[in-house]
Every structure is written in structure tokens, then in C-alpha cells.
Structure 1
Amino acid sequence: MAGAVVRERSSELYLRRLLAANDATQALQIATDHVAREIGCPVSWAGLVEGDYLVMGAHHGVESTEMAAAWRLKVGEGIGGRVALERRPQMSRDYRHDSRRVPLMKRLIDNEGILATLIVPILVADVTLGVLYAAHRQPYPWTDAEQVALEQIAHDLGVRLRQLDVDGRRQRLADEAEGRAEQAVRRLTTSARLANSFAQQTDPGVLLDVLARELGARVELREADGTLVRAGGESWPEGSPVSSPERTHFELPDCDGLTLDIVRPDRVDERDQSFEELSVALYRLQLLRASERERTTQRLRGDLFDDLLDGRISDPDSFRTRMVMIGVSPKPGARVLVAGLRHHPRDLAYSDSFERLLRSVIRGVVSVRRGDRLAAILPGGAPDDASLRAQLDDVRARAEGRWIVGLGRSCADLMDYSTSYDEARAACELALRGDVPGTVVTAHELGILGMASLPAAHLRTTVRDVLGRLLELDTERGTDLVPTLRAYLSHDRHLPDTAAALHVHYNTVRNRIARIEAVLDVDMRDVDDRFRLETAVRMQALSAALGHAG
């Protein structure tokens, strides 16, 4: 009874808000938000009929910008297209086994993680205005009650859309589009050279230089926070006759927050402003084209991140521009994380769970799989170590599997990323081997800061020079001198604690230490001897964890 009262009040509130909507866009958004509340689903969206296609009208819970921008379904095709054509509800309980899907929508839906949908038409009399979706990110058994509720929401929405004169709005939009098309035709002669120049290039930096040359101005490409990515054209130094140049700011939609500033020595007339707008629009289209190509190539093959984490950066400025183009901003203070599973190392479902949670808890994380490990770049401006550790512990606790996380140093520039990665990987591998305690460990805590990025040959040589004779004895005679030395040093030379850790008698440890001192000709009381031994022991464990031969 109480649940029915709550639903009735929710429906009343929905109707009041719907009636208060000033335009179709607002009404669609109110409806999709209400679907999520009423049906109890995480995702909802509405598609409006425009000509022969359904286009995105509003959405709730959609995480992918590509889904929101590119969703476009032909009437009669796919599940939603059939709903619009046949004007009756349809559902899919598990998209993975549904043959009605179309390729483009399949990719968008899969990227969004949606596995089940319930779709009803938005009708006024016999006219289909659009379709309304409810969706889950897991297989879901839709009920008749849920279908009835969604149909009622769609019915109320259709009535309100008709009241708002959707058809008149479409006509006005068509008239405006026709007017813009006529203006574009008049500008075509002037813009042909620019368009032709753009068609010959895909490099964003070169495109910026072409734009600056054609406009006869300085053009600045910036990130959302104002950071300059690259500039084309000449600037005016302080003390020049141009004391305060005119600056025109342009947003670049769907370009990861990038903006464009055109800087001129004086104000331009209306005609030049129109040409600027068209030029920026052409630049944005080419930028999207280059960006999408870069995203697809780099994310499929991982070459960019491989180069970054392996330190293969020949031109830092060009490399940084490429990173920004795929939505990664290498800010100072970023850190590299490497995570691995104690069990199920090749189970992608476990990696998906950890990766998804990591991105939801720490915004701006970029991750890539490297073999059986997950490498991630934590953005600059991250919280202090204690807060970051708490966030990572939260991700570990909620993710499937027993995860171990290694953290590298904070990065000041691009060349630091490979060192941070080496340190994070070493810390992760040592923890996975059980050589060190803990589930979130740093290279600094392990005392291997700076060692992880040393060449394998250097590590092997140092270990052999210092511990070579002990390693030979352990191999040839089955002694445990190196493990004893490691335990002895880690317990601050305390014999009882060392004996307890090794599960041997106190005198056994004392005899082994005496033999180690004799074989290596060292004195455990000497600070310099202990430093060399501790360094070699850490290098030996690090080399073994990283899989170096020898």
C-alpha cells in the first residue's frame, strides 16, 4: 500500500514538472529522469523521429559521450526502429543474444555496457513522435508492470510534446537550417581554399598553423582549464603597439573540453566574424577526424601508452599533443599504478571489474592492460598518499578477486612516467611474490626507489658482485644463506626474531650469520657493509620479481 502511494505521488510530481516544461528538450529530459526513478533502471533515453531516423532527444545515466552524440537509428531498423515503425513495445532481456541489433548501435550500446532494454513508442493518436527506452547494464527479466509504467510515461510525454507543437518546432529548425545553408553557400568561395588545405592534413598541429595563416591571426588551442596545448601564428610581445589585442573564444564541442582562441590586433567586422566561425567549425571537424583516428589506433594497439611507460619519447612537445588529442592530459603530479591478481591472472572479467571501479572512484584515470597486469595513470592533483591509499583500498574491497597494487613516484614531466611505471611494477611484483607485506605498496616503502628503472644487467652485476658466493653455496649445497641474510637484515639483526621468522633455532641463525660474514668477508656491525648487503638483497629480490634471468 505504501509503495503504491509513493508511486502515485511520484507520477503526480512527474506530471506537474512535465506541464511546466518550456520546450520539448526539457520535457524529454524530465521524462527520461522519471523513467529511471519509476522503473528503477540506471539508464534511460528518448529518441525523436526526424525524417527517416530516430535521433537522441534526451538521456539519463549515459556515461559515453559517443553514445549521447552519435546515437542515430533508422526507423524500421534495430529494436528501437521497429518500435517506431510498428508502434508497439518491444524488449530485449539480453542484448548479447539478440539478432535484431544493427552494427553501429551495437558498438555504441556495447561500449555503454547496456545488456537489457525495454522500449515503447511515444504516440499522439496514430503519429509516432519517438521512442522511450529503459535499460539495465546486466541481463534483466522485464515485467508486465514495468512495461505498463513505461507506456504511461510515454503517453503523458507524447501529449505534452504535441502541446509544445513539436511539428512547428521542427519547421522552425528546418527554416533556420535552410538559412544557415544559404549563408554557407555564399561563404563557400572564400572558405574553399581553407577546406582544401585541411583536407590535405590530419596532424592537429599542422592544421592549427594552416588556420592561423588563412585567418591572418594567432590561434591558440587550450584545454578546459586554460592550459595552452599549442599555438599557431605570431603573438604580440609586451611593449608593442598592440597593447590589448582582440580575443575571440570558441568552444569545440565533443573535443574533450578543448577550446580555441583567435587573437587579432583589432576588432573584425561581421563578415570576418562569420568566416572565423566557419573556419573554426572546419577545424573542429578535422580535429574530430584526427582525434577519432588517433583514439582508435592508440586504444586498439596501446602504442602511445607503451611508448610513454617504456620511455620511448623522442619529441616531448609532439608526444604531449598526441596525448591531449586522445583525452589524456599529462599534468605534473601524475602517478603510475600497476595492479595484479594473486589468482585468476587471465580472467578479463576480474580486470573489467577492477578497472571500472578504479575509474569511478578516481576521475580522469587512464588504464591499459599489459600482459597479466593492469597499468593506470592517476591524474595530476591526486590526493595525498593516505587518501589515495584509502581510495585504492576501497576499489580493492569492491572489485572481484584479490588485487595487489603497486604505486610509482609522482611525475614532474613526461620522462618520469617510465620510471614511475618501473617502480609501480616492481612494487606490485614483490608484493605478489609475498616478499613484502601489504596490498597497496609503493617503491618508496620498499626501499627500491630508483632501483626499479635500472637496467637488468646492472642489477645482476651488483647482486653477483656482492652476494655471488652465497647464491652459489645455496644452489650447490642447498643452504639457506641468502634467505637468512634477508630475514636477519629485515629484523634489524635481532637473532630471536630472525629465528622465529625462519622457524629455526636461535643458534642456527647465529651460525649462519657467522658463516655469511666469513664467506663475504664482511662485518655485520659495520654500517657500510650492512648498506651494501641490504642494497644487494633488495636488488636480488627486485630482479627475481621482475623476471630477470641470471
Structure 2
Amino acid sequence: MVAPVGSRSDSQLIARAVRDLVRRTRFPVAFGGLARDDAIHVSAIAGARTRSLDGLIVHAGRGLGGRAFVERRPRLALDYRSARGITHDYDGPVLGEGIATLIAVPIVVGERARAVVYCGSWSAAPIGDSVAAPAFRIADEIATELRVQDEVDRRLRAAAPVAEASTPLTTAARETLRESYAELRSIAATVQDAGVRERLERLERRLAALSSDRDASLELEVRLSPREIDVLACAALGSTNAEIGAALGLKDATVKSYLQSAMAKLDVSTRHAAVLKARRAGLLP
């Protein structure tokens, strides 16, 4: 159950999750970390009154978080000091912070726990569904972002050789590039992490610049919005308004509005003409 070392973006997601746990739940203290070498390395802490939790490493199967990590499901200790069913390897850090009630929630992506986040209180208290639900939602949100990042990384690796190629693209390679560009745009629309979005934007610019249709003399006096480019990128693949809406999470009427706005800015009357002009301007591959 060895997990890979987390990236800087992964660590930032965990830090955000920990801050959200304090902000969106009734628990005053939260902490968490990514899985590495069959252990959880706590890297983010919020609301703590001491430094007792600093540098905590929780091994698989040990303590409350270690069980949550192995079992891939939340674990709760209403009275941590006397809790049965867990080892008490980490009583020093946990009780040193004065935590009485503690819940550990794994962040599961696919079949693997990628991280564990904790939230706790300094007095023993019953934990109902309404109290625990926000913590579960936060864990699900982070799991979704990690899945998106995994897909982004996969596509970055797949597209990088194409983006670095100096030889003319074949028709098949060009279509593959355009499909990858459109899919990256749709993925980027769901990403909240600024670092991941920046990486996507850099790759998108590289992919768009590869178009041999670009006319260096064509300077547009208007700028298309990110959403207008998203819609045009999908339209360039021959997608219908309904298909574009499904890919980008937009209503048909919204897709139509973006297309009309893009056509007006580009001073053309059809989506096909809009795609061609956007390619000549280097906005699309």
C-alpha cells in the first residue's frame, strides 16, 4: 500500500482541506497529510493550541488514522484516551494537544487512500451525521481534485512529446492534438487549484501554437473569454451544442450564447468560420 510522494499541488490541497475542516465543521482543530512510504505524514495543522502535532507520522494500521488509512473508511473516537479497537502509539501528540474526540477521514482515490485528514475537539462530545457530514464532503471534494490532477498529469505526459515535436504534424496527429486540447480545456474548467490551472494553460498555449493554420499577420483586436475558447475547442471537433454542454457542464442555451458571442467577436456568421479564424489567430490548434 505504498503511495507515491505527493506533489506540491497535492500538499496544497491537503492544507486547504485542513483549513476548510476548521471553517466548515464544528471541530476547532484539524490536521492531515499525504500517504508516503505506507504512512501518513502530517503536513498541515489548523486551530491547534500547541505544537504537539508538528511532524507527526502515522503508520498504516496504527492509531485512529492508521486504521482509517488501511480500511479506507472514516474512524471515530468519542473519547480518544480510552478508545478501544485502536493502538495508542500517538497518545503523546494527540493528548498533548488536549484532543478528546477525534475523527479520521481517509481521502480515497480509486482503490487507494491518498491522504488522511483529522478533526477533533478538546472535549468529548457525541458526533451525529450532521456534525460529521461536512468533513466527509471536504474529503470527497479533495478526492475529486486529486482524480482531476491525475488525469491532467496523464494528459500532460501524453501531450508533451507532441508539443515538443518540430516536424510537421500529420492529419491524424493534428486531430489527436485538437482532441487533447479540447479535453484539457474541459478538465481545466473543473480545476480549482491555481498551480494546476497554470500548468494546463501553459500546455494549452503550446498546443495552440502548433497549428500550421496560424497567420502571423492576423492580429485580433478582440479577446475571447476562456469559456468562449472552451466552446470553440469542442465545436472544432464537430460536437453538437448538447455534446459541448455535457463536456463542459453547461446548458444548451449557454453553449449557444457563448458560440454567438465568439462569432460576433470574430466577425463571422458560422461556428465553422469562427473555428477557422480562431485557428489562424493561434487561439486554437
| TM-score bin, normalised by smaller chain | 0.3 to 0.5
Question: Which fold has the larger relative contact order, with Cα–Cα distance below 8 Å and residues 6 or more apart in sequence?
Answer: 2
* Structure 1 length-normalised TM: 0.25
Answer with 1 or 2: which has the greater Rg: 1
* Structure 2 length-normalised TM: 0.47
